[in-house]
Structure 1
């Protein structure tokens, strides 16, 4: 196993860890807090890094297949999610911060699809 592949796997696993902690801590607290947004950004950065490394290892960029499309959707949703969390915190929109966890869980669940799919592709390929 190459060192780049190990780094990519670590990045993707860190993305899963950060995102899961952020989403469920936010739900448990009942409101969006600053540290949740920081953790969402960390998850996004690690996911983007891992995805970039995996693309380099595959020798290609975006691929129009199920994994590529769901992965792109997940990355875009993660970016929007982190941006929107930051906007709500800056605006101090307390009502929206209390219901933001519903959106967070949906984004997290969608993100899991390409994550799990990537594990199966890696095991089979």
Structure 2
């Protein structure tokens, strides 16, 4: 199960990074970015659930647990807000969306890195 969990979390990193950085480089939120954001969210959620099972249950009473929950909630908010921006087709919002994306991505990296450190070290 560790292989599946690690693969899912790594795919979340790949999808989310591609979506966020390509959106920034292209200068505008596009539909395919939204698809990649949702793929990252799904992979992160699956990976987190599998890791929780491996750990004997998810505890939110830790740095990793709290930041992980925050990251998934922010990813969900980010994807839903991207959907709203695309549906409204507000060109200014589409052009500035990368600012939110970068913040959410940076916050998401905290539990990703802490999970890798704590998982390897302990």
Cα deviation 1:35-91 (Å, max 9, x = unaligned) = 000000000000000000000111112331100000010000000000000111111
**Residue aligning to 1:48:** 45
TM-score (norm 2): 0.98
Superposition RMSD in Å: 0.7
**Residue aligning to 1:8:** 5
Alignment pair present for 1:116 and 2:109: no
Alignment pair present for 1:78 and 2:75: yes
Cα deviation 1:82-123 (Å, max 9, x = unaligned) = 000011111111110100000000000000000000001110
Checking the alignment, whether the CA contact within 8 Å between 2:8 and 2:47 is kept in structure 1 is yes
Q: In terms of mean alpha carbon deviation, does 92-101 or 54-63 score higher? A: 54-63
Gaps of 5+ in 1: none
Moved over 6 A (4+): none
Number of aligned positions between the proteins: 122
**Residue aligning to 2:59:** 62
**Residue aligning to 2:101:** 104
Q: Which residue among 87, 91, 105 is the counterpart of 1:90? A: 87
